[in-house]
Structure 1
């Protein structure tokens, strides 16, 4: 019987991963490169992207655990294997619902370090205790100290929409992280990770020597899996999946690219696969939506609703400057930084002549997962009901029954409460966009991404349906626009039935008022 290889799902400790013979994508050459410098680092990456394992790898390296690195790239690079005092602070696993919760977790870690390095009775504040621990550890060991902070921003994320609590957390963290500047002479290496770069937290303003590598090309692949790494490390798992799906290895890799690849943390970097989704697909021997199911981004929905952000920009891809998504500023009313840094958008293009980035969904797992999750907040139709409705829409079009499709659409809109966004037109246009994008899970669809294209195009095995919607116009106007603008021309050579659907949507009744079908 063939031995099943051990997949490191949920393994965040490098020591356990190596000692228990889990598969490992070797990132240690980059670990050595970074550890060779003494500049403090900061890295922003989405959740479940390997940040905790990366910090644990640095911890093992600075503890001199040469035994754990046998056979890895760093073994050929490092010869000294010196040991340093390591302060590893993990803020990921706690619930921060009050300032006392944050103070307690910081105090608990400080107490552990004080048990090892001693405490001065004159040190009363969290920051003075932290500073004292660093100083004593350096003096007693004769070595500078290594500080590793995992998910530095977890308290801030949990208090994102509570201004008072956010202010308390910023005050506490400002003083605590500020120690990393005043204690600089005692520090050998500092590395902070998180999901989001909060512009308001002074760890980024006070630590002016901080090296933010979140969008630097040399570090783009430090978390995540490249296609080369996927093929090199996981070929047996890919072959097993190909056998299970009765297709070629190339087809499996292509399907995984569509679902899990596409993350870019620099405009010129290669695409990265989501490691959590890849590992779970191999473990289940089946492709599914694994990453999105591990967390519900309710805070993102709240941000989108507060900012009245146009959802169509997220679907089509939005062009922005780097400053508009690289740091989160609560007062700016801009949800893009949080959406990007949380992993729901990524860099899809860059125009160097005008210095503009194009942000879009990285892959289908994120695109359909995010929109399926989002639609109930705009329609108050449950997520289970949304999925059922979308499947029904798809079945009617596949059967060529446009009338039944439009009747389902009417029923869908009739279930939306009267109390909606102030911008009614944008709200309903966004819902149309989301509905037709979600249809792309089952049939090939396009939604308008440039001037001169129809509102939506749906392609089935037998037909191409072109939809044009008018708000408080007429169905005749919508149908005439399809003809005059030549929306069907690109599909004449497909050999399929071409169907025009002109729809008038009434803002008064908030529903489809009348539609016409030709073809």
Structure 2
């Protein structure tokens, strides 16, 4: 290991004291404090939100020694400290105690730390009393709330009534913050999702949302410049472009692109082995079920209006905004004129993992079976053994339960075909838009370029003719590779790939 990587460590003091690598984010901290007072930030899990909170806490506690050599060191008044109310809803025990009791106990614990006696019983009154008494005795209060939405997310899907109940509790809890303004120095709230932000913070209408703010797009995660500045030795020994394809690509402003810090650090800790580090820490079961319910499986280019990008209603959850907020989709581009975003998978890690899980769900098979067959397809295409492709595809379709075909065979056909070929990852572009139309799949390998067209109850010959008529392979004629058109026809009646034909196209 070239340097100490803080994988899973979210405490700023521990990182700085024990010599772990720290990517300086204090310029964002300085800007935050000097330009406003009430903030909200949404980022996916394991993206550094808790570390950002911890940095703010150490700063307002004036722990100057921890900031030596950082941007903010000579820009801060280290003689001034502020009392801090810091709460993380991921570890207050809301499931065991119930949310009301968990919040109440946490407020009592903070009050005891400052030798304050609280007389109020309800949590909103207790919160207000704690702020007022801290302000009166120790100066304006800094309120730091981490993972505000955890008591809601934990019950999505399995117990929506409980999620709504917890949302209503938190709405009352936060309602006192606006009137507490004279006693507050800073309010900073983080979470994964924004779906309940408006309803929870409806009384806190001065809360600035930094989620898609271009000035804070790099406050969490690691930019390319930061990677090259802090990982110079590591980059001499690894493929920089491969790292970018696997772990970069997250953007909240369509301009600034960042690496997933957990995956990047884990990659170096594990000896530069490309794996699904972030995805493995939490399978998106709820999102997969919602994708099945809404019959969505193609997330390569999703257009969505700015207002629709945030799903506010727990009782009417929208898949695409939730996938964006939780990190499975990211902003690829933005049109200010139309106020429309284009979303897509951020990188290979998320794309490969999410499709694999989704494919298992659609086919009702064990996780991992899809990769096996996809790898067989890759090997066949690398060798040019197209005649064996039909058997592999039908093996995949044979795993589908018969009742699925009875319900909606065409949908499942398209879903499994798309997911199968999308799993080829870096080798395939699925449904590539061309000037003359949209091809179903393009696969570029060392010795071959394949254009594949799928038909339903038609003919493989018609599919090949479409490839030729549209000139799908013409742009690749200068690559000194074999150009091959593949037509695949699927029979709705037989519920199988009925015909696979191919033809080499001369440049």
Shift in Å at residue 146 of structure 1?
A: 0.7
CA distance in structure 2 between the aligned counterparts of 1:255 and 1:500, rounded to whole angstroms: 29
Q: Please identify, of 460-469 and 37-46, the stretch whose mean Cα deviation from structure 2 is larger.
A: 460-469
Equivalent residue of 2:357, what SS? helix
**1:183-222 correspondence to structure 2 within 5 Å:** 183-199=180-196, 202-222=199-219
Shift in Å at residue 237 of structure 1?
A: 2.7
Contact 2:387 2:500 in 1 (8 A): no
Would the alpha carbon gap of residues 328 and 371 (structure 1) be closer, same or farther in structure 2, given more than 3 Å must change?
A: farther
Contact 2:464 2:487 in 1 (8 A): yes
**Matched residue, 2:152:** 156
Shift in Å at residue 155 of structure 1?
A: 1.3
What is the aligned counterpart of 1:350 among 334, 340, 348? Answer: 334
**1:286-297 correspondence to structure 2 within 5 Å:** 286-288=272-274, 289-297=276-284
| Structure 2 spans left out of the alignment, 5+ residues | none
What is the aligned counterpart of 2:163 among 145, 166, 176? Answer: 166
In the alignment, structure 1 residue 259 sits paired with structure 2 residue 246: yes
Contact 2:160 2:315 in 1 (8 A): no
In the alignment, structure 1 residue 306 sits paired with structure 2 residue 299: no
Contact 1:7 1:22 in 2 (8 A): yes
CA distance in structure 2 between the aligned counterparts of 1:403 and 1:428, rounded to whole angstroms: 21
Equivalent residue of 1:223, what SS? coil
**Matched residue, 2:260:** 274
Contact 1:170 1:201 in 2 (8 A): no
Contact 2:193 2:322 in 1 (8 A): yes
Task: Tell me the TM-score normalised to structure 1 length.
Answer: 0.91
Would the alpha carbon gap of residues 505 and 213 (structure 1) be closer, same or farther in structure 2, given more than 3 Å must change?
A: same
**Matched residue, 2:374:** 390
| Structure 1 spans left out of the alignment, 5+ residues | 243-251
Contact 2:194 2:311 in 1 (8 A): yes
> For each residue in 1:331-361, what CA deviation from the matched residue of structure 2 results, as whole angstroms up to 9, or x when unmatched?
4452111100111111111223322211111
**Matched residue, 2:23:** 25
Shift in Å at residue 265 of structure 1?
A: 0.8
Give the length in aligned residue pairs: 498
CA distance in structure 1 between the aligned counterparts of 2:163 and 2:494, rounded to whole angstroms: 41
**Matched residue, 2:173:** 176
CA distance in structure 1 between the aligned counterparts of 2:422 and 2:7, rounded to whole angstroms: 31
> For each residue in 1:119-154, what CA deviation from the matched residue of structure 2 results, as whole angstroms up to 9, or x when unmatched?
343x1212111111111111122x111110110011
Contact 1:65 1:81 in 2 (8 A): no
Shift in Å at residue 307 of structure 1?
A: 2.6
Contact 2:467 2:473 in 1 (8 A): yes
CA distance in structure 2 between the aligned counterparts of 1:489 and 1:414, rounded to whole angstroms: 35
Would the alpha carbon gap of residues 287 and 322 (structure 1) be closer, same or farther in structure 2, given more than 3 Å must change?
A: farther
Shift in Å at residue 274 of structure 1?
A: 1.1
Shift in Å at residue 11 of structure 1?
A: 1.1
What is the aligned counterpart of 1:461 among 437, 446, 456? Answer: 446
CA distance in structure 1 between the aligned counterparts of 2:404 and 2:124, rounded to whole angstroms: 47
CA distance in structure 1 between the aligned counterparts of 2:273 and 2:38, rounded to whole angstroms: 39
In the alignment, structure 1 residue 496 sits paired with structure 2 residue 481: yes
Moved over 6 A (4+): none
Contact 1:198 1:327 in 2 (8 A): yes
> For each residue in 1:22-44, what CA deviation from the matched residue of structure 2 results, as whole angstroms up to 9, or x when unmatched?
11111112212212245210000
Would the alpha carbon gap of residues 34 and 356 (structure 1) be closer, same or farther in structure 2, given more than 3 Å must change?
A: same
Shift in Å at residue 7 of structure 1?
A: 1.1
Shift in Å at residue 507 of structure 1?
A: 2.5
